[in-house]
A = this chain, B = another copy of it.
């Protein structure tokens, strides 16, 4: 495992806490930059507390490569399922922010309310664990559940989990963090637009594609700012 990767991943975890996407729970992972068949993820720990030492490496079967007595998150199968199915994905964030959970509970589709949420314009599917697994504890705690979730995600950037939360993925760690943050903010914007009433002139598909390219090109500016808030 690369030292810099573990350090960046710990920073990402603390950024998502600091920005209100994670609370006492939530986890973010990244594909190992030197081993495409592995991913890195914190041990089971509140995301605000994660440091590089807490980062573990896993195979795509979600087996720890070097446990050293550390307890992994049960939901690592959510991450593993996505890395297995989506070679383009380099990072995955999973949270339960109060503004996003509602969209997994009702029929209203999420839209891309503004340029920063451009990645939503391609559509946001909903994964209802009942469809395949019936009555469960909701947790993505097996390879089967992880695979079903990854299938529901398809080629999209964000997936809603009914009565659970959401997943945001990206072609880089800063991109996945950016998308998780603006999924939360766009959800708030859409809730308020719905309150105002009438149709919502969200980004069209082509606008979303064009604006997303700009976001990916300039995400470093946001990352540096967020990082500064969570590093001593």
Q: Given A46-B221, A189-B98: A105 and B201 within 8 A (CB)?
A: yes
In the complex, the count of this chain's copies comes to 4
Q: Do B163 and A98 have beta carbons less than 8 Å apart?
A: no
Show 23 A/B contacts (Cβ-Cβ < 8 Å), sorted by A: A24-B221, A25-B222, A98-B185, A98-B188, A102-B113, A102-B195, A105-B193, A106-B193, A106-B196, A106-B199, A106-B201, A114-B163, A115-B137, A115-B138, A128-B201, A135-B204, A136-B210, A137-B213, A138-B207, A138-B214, A139-B211, A139-B214, A191-B196
* Distance in Å: Cβ of A42 to nearest Cβ of chain B: 12
CB of A45 within 8 A of chain B? Answer: yes
Measured between beta carbons, the chain B residues less than 8 angstroms from A116 are 25, 96
* Distance in Å: Cβ of A5 to nearest Cβ of chain B: 23
Q: Given A197-B108, A198-B106: A101 and B113 within 8 A (CB)?
A: yes
- Report the Cα distance A73→B204, complex, angstroms: 25
Interface size class of A (residues with CB under 8 A): 35 or more
Contact of A162 among B103, B135, B201, B222 (CB under 8 A): B201
Stretch at the interface among A55-63, A84-92, A149-157, A223-231: A223-231
- Report the Cα distance A202→B226, complex, angstroms: 34
Interface residues in A176-226 by Cβ distance below 8 A to B read 185, 188-204, 206-207, 210-211, 213-214, 218, 221-222, 224-226
Contact of A203 among B115, B138, B193, B211 (CB under 8 A): B138
Residue of B nearest to A192 (CB): B102
Interface string of A136-168 (1 = CB under 8 A from B): 111100000000000000000000001111000
